[in-house]
Structure 1
C-alpha cells in the first residue's frame, strides 16, 4: 500500500503533463488555421499576430479559441517603438531582452502589440516599417 502511495504523485504528474501537451497542440493547431494565408505570423506566450492584406491583427488564446485583441492598418503606420511590457512608457534599449511590446503609431491612433521576445519584436518592427514604406 505504501508503495502505491509513493507512485500516485508521479501518476498525477504524468496525467497533468499529458493534458498540458494536448492543450498546447490544440492551441498550435488552432493558430495554424487562424493564420492561414498570412504574410507574417507569430505565436508566443503573449499571443498570436498575423499580417494579412495590409492589416496587422493580434489575438490572445482564451477559452479554447483565439480572441482578437486589436488590428492596425499598416498603410497608416508612421512609427514603431519598442517599449517595456509592464513599466509604462519606458522605451527599451538595443541590447534589452525579454518580454516587451511594439507601439504602433499611425496618423490618428496608437496601439501596443505584446511580444515574449525583444529580438522577435525588433524583427517585426523592421518588417512592418518596410511594408509600410512599400505601400506608400
Structure 2
C-alpha cells in the first residue's frame, strides 16, 4: 500500500503534464487555421500575429480561441522601433535578447506588438518595412 501512495504524486504530475500538452497542441492547431493564407505569421508566448492582405493583426489566446487585440494597415507604416517590453520607453540595443515589443508608428497612431524573442522581432521589423515600401 505504501508503494502505491509513493506513485500517486507521479501519476498526478503525469496527468498535469499531459493536459498541458493537450492545451498547447490545441492552441497550435487553432493558430494554423487562423494564420492560413498569411504572408507573415508568428506564434509565441506573447500571442499570435499575422500579415494578411496588407493588414497586420495580432491576437492573444484566451478560452480556446484567439482574441483579436488590434490591427494596423502596413501601407500607413512610417516607422518601426524595437522597444523593451516592460521598461517604459527604452529602445532595445542590438545585443539585447529576450522579450520585447515592436512599436508601429503611422497615421498618428502608435501601437505595440509584443514578441518573446528579440531576434524574431528584428526579422519582422525588416520584413514589415520592406512590405511598407513595396505598398507605396
**Structure 2, unpaired ranges of 5+:** none
Listed as ranges, the matches of 1:92-131 within 5 Å are: 92-131=92-131
| 2:16 aligned residue | 16
2:36 pairs with 1:58: no
The whole-number CA distance in structure 1 between the counterparts of 2:48 and 2:107 is 24
Give 1:68 shift: 0.4
**Structure 1, unpaired ranges of 5+:** none
Give 1:108 shift: 1.4
Give 1:124 shift: 0.1
Listed as ranges, the matches of 1:30-45 within 5 Å are: 30-45=30-45
The whole-number CA distance in structure 1 between the counterparts of 2:87 and 2:65 is 29
Give 1:75 shift: 0.3
If the length of structure 1 is used for normalisation, what is the TM-score? 0.99
Superposed CA RMSD: 0.5
Listed as ranges, the matches of 1:72-91 within 5 Å are: 72-91=72-91
Q: How many residues align?
A: 136
